Amino acid sequence: MATEFLKGASAPAVPIIDLVVSEEDRVAIAKRHKRRRASVAIRYVFLTLLATIILFPIYITIVNSLLTPLQIAARPPLFFPTKPTWGAYSDAWTAGHMSLYLMNSVIVTFLIVTGQIVTATCAAYAFAFLEFPLKRTLFIVFLATLMVPFEVTVITNLTTVVNLGWYNSYAGLAAPFMATGFGAFLLRQAFLGVPRDLRDAAALDGYGHWRFMVRVAVPLARPAMAALAVFSFLGAWNQYLWPLIVTKDSRYRTLQIGLRQLRATSLDQVNVTFAGVVIAALPLIILLVIFQKQLVRGLTAGAVKG
Amino acid sequence: MTADIAPERGLIAEGLIAEGLIAEAGQTKRFLNRRRKEAGLGYLMLAPSLLIFSVFVFYPFFKNFYLGFFRTPPFPGLPARYVGLDQFREVLTSDYFTNSFRVTIVFALLTVPAGIILGLLLAMVANQRLKGIGAYRTIFSSTVATSVAVASVIFGTLLNPQVGLLPWLGLTTNPSILENPKYALFAVAVTTIWQNLGLSFIVMSSGLQAIPDEIIEATEVDGARPWTRFWRVTLPLLSPTVFFAFVVGSIVAFQTFGQIDLLTQGGPIDKTNVLTYAIYKALRDQNEGKAAVLAVALFGVTLLLTTAQMRILERRVHYGN
């Protein structure tokens, strides 16, 4: 299934059956083997070609971040840094404020992911384990939030945040995203999979709802929690429109908006722009390598039935 | 716990004892108390989400309609004037909006089908038994690690006429590609397709891998040719995934903003002025009334799109087990 996709399939072991084979057959088999080997080679060439095309923009970005602006403008272009210079990175890190932007992104993303997990867990628990009037209506209200793109609400949200005194602050950056209809839905589905008997047994043991939620339901729903964490992490980390309009200086700007600033600097510092891009992309690349499995599950949640 | 007070009290009470809800039979009062408590806990648990949704989703959503009734004065400080539906009529029939709407649709048509087809192609190619295929899979999914801003800055710099690579490849346009009314939207679309390729590949791959091996093997035994197998077996079984990618992809395409802001700022001559960017520009010009009307339009289009796609596609999608 989804989670196994990066492992790939290993080559099948072909059982070799020793039979008496005529000389003609032997020639035919040899021919077929040759053809198969050629087709395998063609497949590898095709795969490598596709991989090269996809990786090229990333590769050239890394190369350019290690060159001087003059070398970058050289024609024909240099596709390998013979004498790499690392100055662009320190320029982007300090003068380009990338260290500050990185910290802001980490803080805001942490607030949003934590907030979404807490609010979604509580809401999902209520929908899955508790009985109360208007439950179905309220669930529809949660789902209705999925129909409203954030861009539609941005005008009044800006006014609201300004009025709350949260313009250009972490609170302003995170507040609108502290709840998630999608997350509540995802976790409710997971909680519904928790056997009812467990709830009854826990109640006999004197577990209240809170204790049951934290000790039993949440641990059992771990895969869905991880999927939600990845999903909300990517959403928060990659945000662009909201941080752009709700911040006004580098103190609260996030990485994505920081890149916008970095790009705006002059072309004779284009190597700094490239270094900034690498700095901005690196955290995600590292996390994706570590959490590949959760990532695939998070991204495909709801995409594939079963 | 869902049991209502029924004639067979004894039975319910027994059940309740088993659930550890009440200590003795017949104590319905305490049971009702329990239920009231449970309801209270339910509302308490929903409260944080509902608070955020009311303030940051529903209130601003409905406020848009209200704001659309008022024309923003030319100078700040003057009171906004109530104009009823005039502003809706004016903005929605203007060339500015029609153009923006058309650009958004063209952009979606350029990016969504191409993204799905390329993702599917990569998934098919990577779904074979070869040594080292895992490395290719990792590379094919690598662009999920790039954000819109990362992809846009990379492509923006590579497409730049001074430091970019296009002139060296002999591909020069005048004016340069991102300032060229003919090609700017296409360049933004290519950037977007590249950035989404990793996600598209991952989604299509999981779809492919959810197809039971036996089915594919059975058709192999039946001697179906690869091409026939793809059209007759793989694609129909994959249709829920493609359907999902199509709906979500279209909605995301209609919310495109970062690429436009970083690559073209809606230009040249509004040729890349997608709806979200038009909203942003109106907001930046402090024209809340116009921004609100455009936002209502964006919502309407998104809603229409989702329902239409559900209607048309769901009938043809194969959801078999």
CA distance A304 to B245: 10
Q: Residue A32: which pLDDT band, with cuts at 50, 70 and 90?
A: confident
pLDDT the model gives residue A14: 52
- Please compute the mean of the pLDDT values over residues B308-315 and round it to a whole number: 67
B114 at A interface, C-beta within 8 A: no
Q: Residue B10: which pLDDT band, with cuts at 50, 70 and 90?
A: very low
C-alpha closest to that of A105 among A113, A96, A94, A95: A113
CA distance A156 to A165: 14
* Residue that the structure tokens 């203007």 belong to: B94
Cβ–Cβ below 8 Å for A263 and B262: yes
pLDDT at B118 exceeding the cut of 70: yes
Residue of A nearest to B149 (CA): A256
Q: Which residue has the higher pLDDT, B35 or B97?
A: B97
Cβ–Cβ below 8 Å for A203 and B20: yes
**Contacting residues of A for B162, CB less than 8 Å apart:** 73, 267
Q: Output the pTM of the full model.
A: 0.82
pLDDT at A145 exceeding the cut of 80: yes
Q: Is A175 helix (H, G, I), strand (E, B) or coil?
A: helix
CA distance A30 to A173: 66
pLDDT the model gives residue B214: 80
CA angle A137, A142, A146 (to 5 degrees): 130
Instruction: Locate A101 and state its tokens.
Output: 């932007």
Mutate to test the interface with A, among B22, B38, B45, B319 (most CBs of A within 10 A): B45
pLDDT at A259 exceeding the cut of 60: yes
Residues 81-110 on B with a CB inside 8 Å of A are none
B277 at A interface, C-beta within 8 A: no
Q: What superfamily in CATH does domain B86-316 come from?
A: MetI-like (1.10.3720.10)
Q: Count other C-beta atoms under 10 Å from residue B231's C-beta.
A: 11
- Please compute the mean of the pLDDT values over residues B200-214 and round it to a whole number: 85
Q: Which residue has the higher pLDDT, A140 or B160?
A: A140
Please name the helix (run of DSSP H) or strand (run of DSSP E) that holds residue B123, with its range, or none. Answer: helix B95-126
CA angle A62, B171, A59 (to 5 degrees): 10
- Please compute the mean of the pLDDT values over residues A275-296 and round it to a whole number: 84
Mean pLDDT of chain B: 83
Q: Which residues contact A224 (CB under 8 A, 6 or more apart)?
A: A186, A187, A189, A190, A301
Q: Is A193 helix (H, G, I), strand (E, B) or coil?
A: coil
Q: Residue A305: which pLDDT band, with cuts at 50, 70 and 90?
A: very low
What's the one-letter identity of residue A118? V
What are the sequence ranges of the domains in chain B? 9-68, 86-316
**Contacting residues of B for A268, CB less than 8 Å apart:** none
**In whole angstroms, how large is the CA radius of gyration of chain B?**
28
Query: How many contacts (CB atoms, under 8 Å) link A and B?
Result: 298
CA distance B154 to B301: 31
Q: Which of A288-302, B214-228, B244-258 has the lowest mean pLDDT?
A: A288-302
- Please compute the mean of the pLDDT values over residues B7-36 and round it to a whole number: 60
Instruction: Locate A245 and state its tokens.
Output: 């309009």
Share of chain B above pLDDT 90, in %: 32
pLDDT the model gives residue B27: 67
Q: Per-residue pLDDT tens for B190-202?
A: 999 999 999 899 8
Instruction: Locate A133 and state its tokens.
Output: 């009037």
Instruction: Locate B151 and state its tokens.
Output: 């992809």
B57 vs A2, A6, A153: nearest CB: A153
Say if residues B275 and B96 touch (Cβ distance below 8 Å). no
Cβ–Cβ below 8 Å for B298 and A306: no
B55 vs A43, A148, A160: nearest CB: A160
Residue B182 Cα, gap to closest chain A Cα (Å): 23
Q: Which of A19-23, A161-165, A237-241, B114-118 has the lowest mean pLDDT?
A: A19-23
pLDDT the model gives residue A53: 92
Q: Which of A12-26, A27-41, B275-289 reaches the highest mean pLDDT?
A: B275-289
A306 vs B58, B210, B306: nearest CB: B210
- Half-sphere CA count of A24, side-chain side, radius 13 A: 0
Q: Per-residue pLDDT tens for B121-144?
A: 999 888 888 888 888 888 898 888
How far CA A290 is from CA of A2, A286, B2, in Å, comes to: 17, 6, 44
What's the one-letter identity of residue A105? S
What ipTM describes this predicted complex?
0.81
Q: Which residue has the higher pLDDT, A119 or B232?
A: A119
pLDDT the model gives residue B23: 53
What's the one-letter identity of residue A283? P
Q: Residue B314: which pLDDT band, with cuts at 50, 70 and 90?
A: low
